[in-house]
Amino acid sequence: MPTIHQIVYVTLITAFLMLLSIKTGYRDKARDLADRYKVKNKFFGLVSEAIECDLCLSFWLSLVIAIFFMLITIDCSWVLVPIL
């Protein structure tokens, strides 16, 4: 599959999932949950900041989607898509 098609597929799915999480309120709930546990563990503080940042969230979400497609299609070129 051409790389441009891979980029478009991952981008569209990422944008859809980000908008869905914002509209349903799951993004705010996840951020609030990470903020609650931030006192016990600094990792949750980093997670809370990453959820708040649109660029960070879109990169990590696209990486997860690309890895999922890589496992389904057994094509390692999917891993390069979030960087592109």
Amino acid at 48: S
At residue 12, the pLDDT reads 94
Amino acid at 16: F
The pLDDT of 22-50, averaged and rounded, is 81
Q: Whole-prediction pTM value? A: 0.81
Q: How many C-beta neighbours within 10 Å does residue 38 have?
A: 16
Alpha helices in 25-80 (DSSP H): 26-37, 42-52, 54-73
pLDDT over 80 (residue 37): no
Cα dihedral 25, 26, 27, 29 in deg (nearest 10): 90
At residue 68, the pLDDT reads 93
Give the tens place of pLDDT for each residue, 39-83: 677 777 777 888 888 888 889 899 999 999 999 999 888 888 888
